[in-house]
Amino acid sequence: MVNSKCNYDKELQFVVEHYKDGAMNENAAWEQLKSRRVKSRSNNFRKYAVAASAVLVCGMAVACSVWMMEFAGWNKKSDVQQDSAVVSEMVDGTKVFHYDKTPINIVLDDMALYYGVTLIASDTTKCVSGEIEASEVEEVIDVLETSLSIEICQK
């Protein structure tokens, strides 16, 4: 009984220490729980929406990066084509140079590389697109002079 009295006093003291007016209204708490659940559901919905948009964004990012890569690749390819010709050699030794908007100076550098000759163009602003098929450097000079209406001299 003494022990029980002691417990009672302790328990009462504990309750009194933490007591707050209206803190334990179960009806208000139940309403709060319901609204919290609604909120958490809408949060869930928001989470799904966020997840969905994240997926969408990721998808777009991937698509975008693929596109960027392609773009970069295309650029690179075009750079390569601009920097040096894509060259293929046929069975009879005829070389085929592939160009795409490549400045004439670069084309002439290629000729120097493949034929060991230094060529100078009268107009260096022109660009070359297409294929040049030639077994000798003279053929290349002819094609370029004719198609670009320029003069090329050999040093």
Using CB under 8 A, list all residues that contact another protein: 4-5, 7-8, 11-20, 22-24, 26-27, 29-30, 32-33, 36-37, 40
As beta bridge partners, residue 88 has 96
Q: For residues 34 and 77, which CB has a smaller minimum distance to another protein in the complex?
A: 34
Instruction: Find the shortest distance in angstroms from Cβ 52 to another protein.
Output: 21
**Beta carbon of residue 28, minimum distance to another protein (angstroms, whole number):** 10
**C-alpha to C-alpha distance for 83 and 103, rounded to whole angstroms:** 9
Q: Which is nearer to another protein, 24 or 69 (CB)?
A: 24
Scanning the structure block, which residue is given the tokens 């060529």? 119
CB of 46 to another protein, least distance (A): 16
Cβ distance to another protein smaller for residue 33 or 90: 33
Q: Which contiguous run of DSSP H or E holds residue 57?
A: helix 26-83
**By the 8 A CB rule, do 84 and 108 touch?**
no
